[in-house]
Structures are given as structure tokens and as C-alpha cells.
Amino acid sequence: MITRNFQSSAPLQLESGEVLEDYTVAYTTYGNLNADGSNVIWAVHALTGDAQVADWWKGLVGENALYNFSSHFIICANLLGSGYGSSNALSENPATGTPYYYSFPTLSTRDLAQSLEMLRQHLKLEQIHTLIGGSLGGQVALEWAYSLGERLQHAIIIASTAKTSPWVIGFNEAQRMAIAADSSWGQEHQDAGKKGLEAARAIAMLSYRNPSDINTKQQEKEEKIDGFLAASYLRYQGSKLAKRFQAFSYWTLTKAMDSHDIGRGRGGVEMALKSIQAQVFAVGVNSDLLFLAEEARFLSQAVPSGSYGEIVSTAGHDAFLIEFTQLTSLIEDFYRS
């Protein structure tokens, strides 16, 4: 495993009209590039993920996994705006010499894809065998697949969509409202909005899981009127995230998720999807209440070369990070088809 930083010397023109004059993208690679450069597997992480894909996608990426270090050159970059090495709101604004804080530019999934393209060009990778991502990572991967053209062979888009639905935007806005309700939000320090982030994560967990999953796993074993397991579970999840993530990045990346629309400025979703040259494998989760399985199925039918697979799980949206055995089997079948 090798971790490096790509420091761009060229500004990034953003969809918002703003410009990121210089920026850093942290990335991790595993394995070695083969002689003809045909073994590149590029993973894109989800909302609060990082570049260490072998850690959070164990079972799919690893020594003995489908994407193993002896056969593949695996790369994963920390998305712009995130807090794990890439430029974000706590990075220094070169114009002021102080952190951006609330002046960090608005990013779209198209901007995030463009920053990955700049990294690809920097690394002189002429082709990508497989581009794979789930949730926000799937959205960014789909945007990038559109612009990569014939440089990309396979795009695996998991628990994701071609355009963010009002349902998802509503969940994200509720989470940002929780952050903004924190009295420290608006202050210029790295822990601003931390308690609000805890509440935001609790809201998010209700969308990441399926009711049946929570009802089963948080079922009370005794009668009580307070101190319920479900409440403790959500408070724990909120506290856990706030210890490793920051509210600024959460705000930036949920906004990026809201922006996602593969068809914006391209004649609409269906026309844009028809332009993707790679073989697309869209994977839905039968119990996903956030990014519905029917949205993944639509994606598979709208591209010129697409197929659909479905994870069957009670875990809801998070199944794409849990059901490794199913996911491996589905992807293997896709490659054989």
C-alpha cells in the first residue's frame, strides 16, 4: 500500500462558477500496474469514507479478495471536500493564508469527477479496467464514466442513482439543519458543528438502514419507559462519526450529493446515459430506502451496454458495505456475461 498526495498546479473550474486555484487530492494505491496498463481498478468512496479502500471494503478488496493486490493495480482517492487528506474547508485558502471554513467552494459530483480525472492524467493511466463506487461514490463514478469514454471498460455503480431524488435531498437538508442548529456552527474552528454532526449522523442512520433491520437488532428484551436500545444506538453512531469526521466536510459532500444529475446541460438524464461507452453494472439493494433499487434498475436499462444485479439483505442502503459475498458473486457474474 502506498499513500501519496497529488498537488494540482492547475486551477479547477467548478460548476458553480467558482475556481479552486490549487488543491490536493490524497490517494492510496495497492498492487502494481502491469505492462500494458490493463489492470487498473479505481474505487470511489462514499460520503464519510477515505482512500483506504482495503480497510472499509474488506472482502471485496484485499490479498485474497476479488480485487487482490497480486492481480490488480487498485487506486482510491479521497474526494475533494473530505477530511482525510484532500483539500477541504479546513485547508488553507491561498488567497488569505487562513482556513477556508465557510468560504470553501460549493462542489458538485461533476467537480469531484473532474478532480479524479486530473489525478488520472497526472498518473498517466491511459485506461481503467473497472471504476467502482457505492452511494455518493457511485454518483461520482457515473459522472466520471460519462467523460472517460473509451478509456473505461467497466463501471460498477452500487446503491446509487443517475440523479439525486427529492427524497434524498430532503434527508440531506434535515441533516444540515441539525448541523446549523448547533450553536457553534458559524464559528471559525475545526470542531464547529460537532454536536450537530452527531444529530445529523443519527438522522442519516435511519435512512441507511431498513426498519426491519433496526426493529430486529434493537428490540428490547425487557419492558421500559426510557433508555431504549434504538436511542442508544443512534447516539453511539453519532458520537462515533463526530470523533473521526468534521461537520464542514459533511456539509460540503451532502451538498455535492444533492447536486448530482448526470443529465444537467446534456439534454436530460436518458440522453446523457446513452453516451456512456463503458459496460455498466448497476447494483441495487432490495431493502434500500434511500437510493431505491428501481433507480439502479433504470440506470442499467438506460445505458447502451448495461446489466442489473441486486443485493438481497435486511441491512438497507448500508448492505453495499456489508454483503461482500453477495457483491463478489454478482460482480463475477457480470464479468463473465
The CB-based long-range contact list for 165-170 (8 Å cut-off, 24+ gap) reads 165/292, 165/295, 167/290, 168/207, 168/257, 168/258, 168/290, 168/291, 169/258
| DSSP conformational letter for 187 | B
CA-angle at 134, arms to 230 and 148, nearest 5°: 165
Is 135 an active-site residue?
yes
Q: Could you tell me which of 278, 2, 6, 20 has the C-alpha nearest to residue 124?
A: 6
SS (H, E, C) 22-87: CCEEEEEEECCCCCCCCCEEEEECCCCCCCCHHHHCCCCECCCCCECCCCCEEEEECCCCCCCCCC
Catalytic site residue from 91, 115, 135, 300: 135
Q: Catalytic annotation on 317?
A: yes
Q: Are 328 and 66 in contact (CB under 8 A)?
A: yes
User: Do 173 and 187 contact (CB within 8 A), yes or no?
Assistant: no
Check if 288 is active-site.
yes
Look-up: residue for cell 467548478? Answer: 14
* Cβ-based burial of 328 (10 A; exposed 0-12, middle 13-18, buried ≥19): middle
Which residue among 288, 300, 313, 318 is the active-site one? 288
Whether the CB-CB separation of 39 and 125 falls below 8 Å is answered with: no
Residue 325, CA distances (Å) to 17, 59, 131, 251, 330 in order? 43, 7, 19, 33, 9
Alpha helix segments (H runs only) across the chain? 53-56, 109-123, 136-148, 166-180, 194-208, 211-217, 229-244, 247-259, 269-273, 293-302, 324-336
Q: Which of the residues are catalytic? A: 135, 288, 317
